[in-house]
Amino acid sequence: MTTFLSSRRAWGATALAVLLGVVVLGATAVKFAPPGSSVAVWWPAAGLAVAFLLVSGPDRRRAAVFVAGVLVASGLANYYGGRPPLVAAAFGVANALEAFVVHRLMTRGGRRPRLASMDDLFRLLAAALAGALTFGVLAGLVVTVGLHSTFFPTAYAVTASHAAAVLVIGPLGIAVVTPRVRAFGLEDVAQMVLVVGVTLWVFRQGQGLPLAFLPLPTLAWAATRQGLRAVAAQLITVGVLAVYGTSTGGGPFAFAGTRADVRPETVGALTQAFLVTAAITTLSLAVASTQRRRAIAELRTEGQFTAVVLDTAATAIVVVDTEGRIGRLNRTAASWIGRHEDELVGLEAAQTFPIAEGRDALVRRFAGLRDHDFPETDEQEWVTPEGRRRNIVWSNRWLTDELGRRSHLVKTGVDVTESRAALERERRVVEELTALDQTKNDFVSSVSHELRTPLASVLGYTEMLEDGAAGELTSRQGELVARIDRNGRRLLELIEDLLVNSRIESGQLDLDLRRCDLADVVAHAWDGLRPLSERRDLDLSIDVDRKPVWVRGDPAALERVTMNLLSNAVKFTPDGGSVEVSLEVGNGHAAPARTASDGVDGSAAPDGRCARLVVRDSGIGIPSADLEKVFRRFYRSKTATDQAIQGTGLGLSIVRAIVEGHGGTIEVVSAPGAGATFTVTLPALPVGAAS
């Protein structure tokens, strides 16, 4: 229905048909008003209008258009029913306001009207009462002013009339979009015949016995067995038959009006009270039955889900009652025990669990289960029917009843046999790898030491040759000796890098931290750069104030850091480029330097001052993907590899280790073709710190 009404044309055509129905029903209700009454016994037009608004949903624009139509249609209905024009127009306004109030309350918050819970039913009752009171007050004023009647009898009569109409017919607007509970069958035919027959008999001509309650059990039958659609249709049927019978003098209410001289408005109010009672009773039962069916369906689904989860779980799940008997278990637990699940339910857990030893302790643990604490986790060794031993770790949790008393113990077991074996294998592998790594470090350290001694001798004899100890060298001989010296020193630097890296890996990077002038360290490193750059076409610049920059550090290690960064800058910058180094003191967030072994305080200045060493070049740059990797040991970027630039990939890893050993940080900013900028930040000592 809602899909059909989603079309603007379909909605408009349906709205016109409903408004025509409002005119017809309204005029008919006025015609059937009891003699001497200024109001109708029932106003089904109000219920029809509300039903259409409810099925239309929370669309405020469409609701406003339809409410305006209700104003016109209701006014015409009252006019055709014989009301004076002004009175008819006033009733039209009252009916429109009633429909507006009910729709606004039912769709508050943009929700679609429904009857799925008792809260929804209470909302419908409140909306129907609010709308009926709105119409009742306005109708009482209209008849008092326009028809010279009394206010209160009219007000309470029409309030009951409209409340009954909305409660009896309004749910139809919700029911048409509610799914059918079950297929229509013989039971439904019998129930409908019974409810129609009983209602016709109760409200027939000449029937004066107070039996107005008889249709209620038949409506309750529909409410408990059928869906909201059938209930809404039968409520409308009972309402039409009861009002028609009462209007034509049949039934107990009309009988009271003729025999007990009861006012016509009172007869109408009694009829509406019957309809309201029938609607509230039937809708309450229908909603409760709907909730019950939904709860049963959810329980069935949850039960099926639980069964599937239990049976397919790789863990063992056993539920034990307070007497220590198995209440339920899953397929995994049964397979570990070696029997079918159905055979195990009801047996004592202590006698059933195939534990390897200590059954007496297990029996004592399960005895008096309700009154004793059970460990949150415990471990047992089980022996499977195949003779295989399993190490089972159990998690134990209690279920409690509504009074908070323990009812069942849920044991969830995990077989850790394989995982423990795997952990043991991994532990042995780690130990072997650790030993292998230590052997490698020892080998590298030993070889490096062994190589350094003869290499130092080679470099020493090279210097003697250059100094003419073996006679004057020719230019060709001098060139060859210089090449030997240059490559020997490269090899010596590599050996030194390997030794430092070995000490770093073994945690033996001993730094001689003391008060030192970082500016002097940078100046010495800059002087050492000259042999590397003298044959290069580079623009070299240094911005280091000769004013001391005091830090707590190892001068030799810091010079190694500076020299490494400068040599990298020269190495990765093509001819015609530039290399800059600067040193400044400012505010920063470097960590305090590590305390020296001699116990001298190594904390940064109280004002958080830091020394920043910046080495900037205009070289080939570093790809963004490599920025996080350049400080790894033996890592070389793809750019350096492609351009065959010499290096081992140890320099920057050593730089970072030394900087962090001083409580500092190092950062790099670079992009391909845009050069690189390395920034070392170290905590500066307070001015006047002791040496």
3-state secondary structure 270-299: HHHHHHHHHHHHHHHHHHHHHHHHHHHHHH
> pLDDT tens digits for 219-231?
999 998 888 888 9
- Distance, in Å, from the CA atom of 656 to the CA atom of 666, rounded to the nearest integer, reads 7
- Distance, in Å, from the CA atom of 351 to the CA atom of 207, rounded to the nearest integer, reads 75
Residue located via tokens 């050993």? 661
The H-assigned helical ranges of 32-113 are: 44-56, 60-80, 85-106
Record: fold of 426-504: Helix Hairpins (1.10.287)
Indicate if 512-683 has the same CATH topology as 314-415: no
**What is the pLDDT at residue 592?**
39
**What is the pLDDT at residue 593?**
35
Pairing of strands 389-400, 514-517: unpaired
Record: fold of 512-683: Heat Shock Protein 90 (3.30.565)
pLDDT > 70 in the chain, percent = 83
- pLDDT confidence tier of residue 237, bands split at 50, 70 and 90: very high
Record: fold of 314-415: Beta-Lactamase (3.30.450)
**What is the pLDDT at residue 598?**
36
- Distance, in Å, from the CA atom of 466 to the CA atom of 481, rounded to the nearest integer, reads 7
Pairing of strands 578-587, 539-544: parallel
**372 φ/ψ angles, rounded to the nearest 5 degrees:** -120, 150
| DSSP symbols for 455-482 | HHHHHHHHHHHHTTTTSPPPHHHHHHHH
**What is the pLDDT at residue 549?**
85
Structure tokens at 5: 């009404």
**What is the pLDDT at residue 684?**
86
- Distance, in Å, from the CA atom of 503 to the CA atom of 76, rounded to the nearest integer, reads 102
Strand partners for 326: 320
Structure tokens at 14: 């349906």
- pLDDT confidence tier of residue 34, bands split at 50, 70 and 90: low
How far, in Å, are 35, 82, 104, 169, 272 from residue 158 at the CA level? 16, 17, 21, 16, 9
Q: Is the CB of residue 520 less than 8 Å from the CB of residue 548? A: yes
Structure tokens at 441: 């470090």
**What is the pLDDT at residue 226?**
86
Pairing of strands 550-553, 539-544: unpaired
The residue type at 480: L
Q: Is the CB of residue 120 less than 8 Å from the CB of residue 65? A: no
Kindly state the helix (H) or strand (E) to which residue 415 belongs, with its residue range: strand 406-415
Structure tokens at 209: 């016995």
Beta strands across the sheet bearing 406-415: 326-329, 316-321, 406-415, 389-400, 377-383
Domain locations in the chain?
A: 2-292, 314-415, 426-504, 512-683
**What is the pLDDT at residue 217?**
93
Spacing of C-alpha 501 from chain mean position? 47
Residue of 22 and 608 predicted with greater confidence: 22
**What is the pLDDT at residue 590?**
46
Angle, helix 264-312 to helix 228-247, in steps of 10 degrees: 170
Strand partners for 539: 578
Q: Is the CB of residue 409 less than 8 Å from the CB of residue 369? A: yes
- Distance, in Å, from the CA atom of 583 to the CA atom of 612, rounded to the nearest integer, reads 6
pLDDT at 18 over 50: yes
Q: Is the CB of residue 89 less than 8 Å from the CB of residue 145? A: no
Structure tokens at 4: 């059909």
> pLDDT tens digits for 354-403?
887 666 767 766 766 666 677 788 888 888 777 788 888 989 888 888 88
Which residues 6+ apart lie within 8 Å of 306 measured at CB? none
Least confident of 119-123, 309-313, 557-561: 309-313
- Distance, in Å, from the CA atom of 348 to the CA atom of 326, rounded to the nearest integer, reads 6
SS3 category, 195: helix
SS3 category, 606: coil
Strand partners for 584: 612
**What is the pLDDT at residue 691?**
47
**What is the pLDDT at residue 371?**
65
Structure tokens at 416: 């850790």
Cβ atoms within 10 Å, residue 319: 20
C-alpha count within 13 angstroms, C-beta hemisphere, residue 185:
9
SS3 category, 171: helix
- pLDDT confidence tier of residue 595, bands split at 50, 70 and 90: very low
Strand partners for 463: none
Nearest residue to 568 via CA among 668, 487, 482: 668
> Mean of the pLDDT values across residues 611-618?
90
**What is the pLDDT at residue 506?**
66
**637 φ/ψ angles, rounded to the nearest 5 degrees:** -70, 160
Q: Is the CB of residue 170 less than 8 Å from the CB of residue 50? A: yes
Nearest residue to 161 via CA among 61, 91, 71: 91
Structure tokens at 403: 């009074």
pLDDT at 182 over 90: no
SS3 category, 140: helix
Pairing of strands 609-617, 514-517: unpaired
- Model confidence, pTM: 0.54
**What is the pLDDT at residue 620?**
84
Residue of 517 and 592 predicted with greater confidence: 517
Nearest residue to 602 via CA among 508, 689, 665, 504: 689
Q: Is the CB of residue 560 less than 8 Å from the CB of residue 607? A: no
pLDDT at 463 over 50: yes
| DSSP symbols for 643-668 | TT----S-HHHHHHHHHHHTT-EEEE
> pLDDT tens digits for 497-517?
666 766 666 666 777 888 888
Cβ atoms within 10 Å, residue 144: 16
| DSSP symbols for 221-273 | HHHHHS-HHHHHHHHHHHHHHHHHHHHTTBHHHHHHHHHS---HHHHHHHHHH
pLDDT at 67 over 80: yes
Q: Is the CB of residue 42 less than 8 Å from the CB of residue 264? A: no
pLDDT > 90 in the chain, percent = 17
Q: Is the CB of residue 409 less than 8 Å from the CB of residue 374? A: yes
Spacing of C-alpha 220 from chain mean position? 43
Nearest residue to 386 via CA among 430, 335, 432: 335
- Distance, in Å, from the CA atom of 386 to the CA atom of 393, rounded to the nearest integer, reads 20
Spacing of C-alpha 521 from chain mean position? 55
Mean pLDDT of the chain: 81
**What is the pLDDT at residue 124?**
93
Residue of 483 and 613 predicted with greater confidence: 613
